[in-house]
Amino acid sequence: MTRWHSFGASVIGPSHLVDGKPNQDAWLAFYNACGDGIVVSDGLGSKQRSDYGSRAACLAVARAADASPVPPQDADEGLFDRIKDNWLSLIVPLAPSECSATCVFALRLGNGFVRMAMLGDGLAAAVKKDGSVVSLYDDKSEGFSNITSAITPNTSAADWRDVSLVEEECIAVLLCTDGVADDLVDRDGFVKGLVETHRGLATVTADRHIREMLASWPTPKHSDDKTIACLYRE
* Contact (Cβ atoms closer than 8 angstroms) between residue 49 and residue 112: no
Question: 23-43 pLDDT, tens per residue?
Answer: 999 999 999 777 799 999 999
First to last CA, the chain: 10
Contacts of 222 (CB under 8 A, 6+ apart): 13, 14
Q: φ and ψ at 123, to 5 degrees?
A: -150, 135
Per cent of the chain over pLDDT 90 is 73
Which residue would you say has higher pLDDT here, 147 or 5? Answer: 5
Residue 178 in this model has a pLDDT that exceeds 60: yes
Name the residue with higher pLDDT: 178 or 139: 178
Highest average pLDDT, of 41-55, 76-90, 215-229, comes from 76-90
Higher pLDDT, 35 or 228: 228
Amino acid 128: pLDDT: 97
pLDDT tens digits, one per residue of 107-164: 998 888 999 999 999 999 999 999 999 999 987 655 444 456 899 999 999 999 999 9
pLDDT greater than 80 at residue 103: yes
Kindly tell me if the per-residue pLDDT of 206 is higher than 70: yes
Q: How far apart are CA 132 and CA 173, in angstroms?
A: 12
Q: Tell me the pLDDT band of 68, cut-offs 50, 70 and 90.
A: confident
> Distance between CA 4 and CA 154 in Å, rounded?
34
Name the least confident of 71-75, 78-82, 180-184, 187-191. Answer: 71-75
The domains found in the chain, sorted by start residue, are 4-233 (3.60.40.10)
Lowest mean pLDDT among 78-82, 94-98, 135-139, 198-202: 135-139
- 225 CB-side CA count, 13 A: 26
Radius of gyration, alpha carbons of the chain: 16
Give the Cα separation of 69 and 49 in Å (integer). 32
Picking from 130, 137, 206, the residue whose alpha carbon sits closest to that of residue 170 is: 130
